[in-house]
Amino acid sequence: MLFLAGSKPLLHFRPPSKRIPSWKPAGNGPQHMKGSTLLRKNYIYAPGPVSVPPQVLAATAKPIIHHRSADFDPLFKKVSEGLKYIFQTKNPVVTFASSGTGAMEAAIVSTASPGDHVISLESGKFGERWGELSQAYGFDVDRVQFEWGYGPDPNKVAELLKARPDTKAVYIELCETSTGTVSDVKAVAEITRNTDTLLIVDAVSGLCADELRSDEWGVDLVGTGSQKGVMLPPGLGFVSVSAKAQEAIKKSKCPKFYFSLAKALKELEKNTTPFTPAVNLIFGLEVALDMIQAEGIENVWARHARLAEGSRQAMKAINCTLFSKAPANTVTTVNVPDDVDGSKIVKTLKEMGVIIAGGQGHLKGKIFRFATLGYYNEFDVITIVDAVEQALAKLGHKFDRGAGVNAAQKYFAG
Ligand X SMILES: Cc1ncc(COP(=O)(O)O)c(C=O)c1O
Among 82, 92, 149, 225, binds ligand X (CB under 6 A): 225
Run of H or E residues at 144? strand 140-145
Q: How far is the CB of 123 from ligand X (least distance, A)?
A: 11
For residue 326, the number of C-alpha atoms closer than 13 Å in the C-beta half-sphere is 20
Closest CA to 152 of 194, 113, 187, 117: 187
DSSP secondary structure letter of residue 33: G
Among 153, 202, 210, 211, binds ligand X (CB under 6 A): 202
Whose Cβ is closer to ligand X: residue 301's or residue 412's?
Answer: 301
Q: How far is the CB of 326 from ligand X (least distance, A)?
A: 15
Q: How far is the CB of 21 from ligand X (least distance, A)?
A: 44
What are the angstrom distances between the C-alpha of 192 and each of 151, 212, 222, 364? Answer: 17, 16, 14, 34
Q: How far is the CB of 205 from ligand X (least distance, A)?
A: 4
> Residue 315, interface with ligand X (CB under 6 A)?
no
Contacts 24+ apart (CB under 8 A), 69-78: 72/272, 72/277, 72/279, 72/282, 73/270, 73/271, 73/272, 74/271, 75/282, 75/283, 75/286, 76/271, 76/272, 76/273, 76/277, 76/282, 77/271, 78/286
Among 51, 88, 99, 181, binds ligand X (CB under 6 A): 99
Q: How far is the CB of 250 from ligand X (least distance, A)?
A: 27
Contacting ligand X within 139-178 (CB under 6 A): 173, 177
Find residue 141's DSSP bridge partners. 118
Q: How far is the CB of 206 from ligand X (least distance, A)?
A: 7
Among 110, 181, 205, 324, binds ligand X (CB under 6 A): 205
Whose Cβ is closer to ligand X: residue 224's or residue 313's?
Answer: 224
Run of H or E residues at 216? helix 214-217
Contacting ligand X within 119-138 (CB under 6 A): 126
Whose Cβ is closer to ligand X: residue 173's or residue 389's?
Answer: 173
> Residue 409, interface with ligand X (CB under 6 A)?
no
Part of the chain binding ligand X (CB under 6 A), chosen from 57-65, 198-206, 336-344, 386-394:
198-206
Question: CB under 8 Å to 49, separation ≥6 — which residues?
Answer: 227, 228, 233, 234
Phi/psi for 117 (5° steps) reads -85, 125
Contacting ligand X within 233-272 (CB under 6 A): none
Part of the chain binding ligand X (CB under 6 A), chosen from 69-77, 97-105, 240-248, 371-379:
97-105
> Residue 358, interface with ligand X (CB under 6 A)?
no
Whose Cβ is closer to ligand X: residue 116's or residue 173's?
Answer: 173
- Contact status, residue 355 vs residue 364, Cβ threshold 8 Å: no
Q: How far is the CB of 367 from ligand X (least distance, A)?
A: 15
Q: How far is the CB of 97 from ligand X (least distance, A)?
A: 12
Run of H or E residues at 319? none
Helix crossing, 100-109 with 125-136: angle to 10°?
A: 40
Question: CB under 8 Å to 255, separation ≥6 — which residues?
Answer: 109, 137
Part of the chain binding ligand X (CB under 6 A), chosen from 1-9, 51-59, 98-106, 302-310:
98-106
Whose Cβ is closer to ligand X: residue 317's or residue 346's?
Answer: 346
Whose Cβ is closer to ligand X: residue 101's or residue 113's?
Answer: 101
Whose Cβ is closer to ligand X: residue 282's or residue 371's?
Answer: 371
Query: Per-residue contact track with ligand X, 16 to 55, x per CB under 6 A?
Result: --------------------------------x-------
> Residue 372, interface with ligand X (CB under 6 A)?
no
Q: How far is the CB of 265 from ligand X (least distance, A)?
A: 21
What are the angstrom distances between the C-alpha of 235 and each of 39, 80, 129, 256, 325? Answer: 30, 16, 19, 20, 32
d(CA 321, CA 181): 15
Q: How far is the CB of 398 from ligand X (least distance, A)?
A: 33
Closest CA to 157 of 196, 137, 185: 185
**Total residues at the site for ligand X (CB under 6 A)?**
11
> Residue 332, interface with ligand X (CB under 6 A)?
no
d(CA 311, CA 254): 43
d(CA 264, CA 256): 12
d(CA 399, CA 117): 51
**How crowded is residue 355: how many other Cβ atoms within 10 Å of its Cβ?**
15
List of residues contacting ligand X (CB under 6 A): 48, 99-101, 126, 173, 177, 202, 204-205, 225
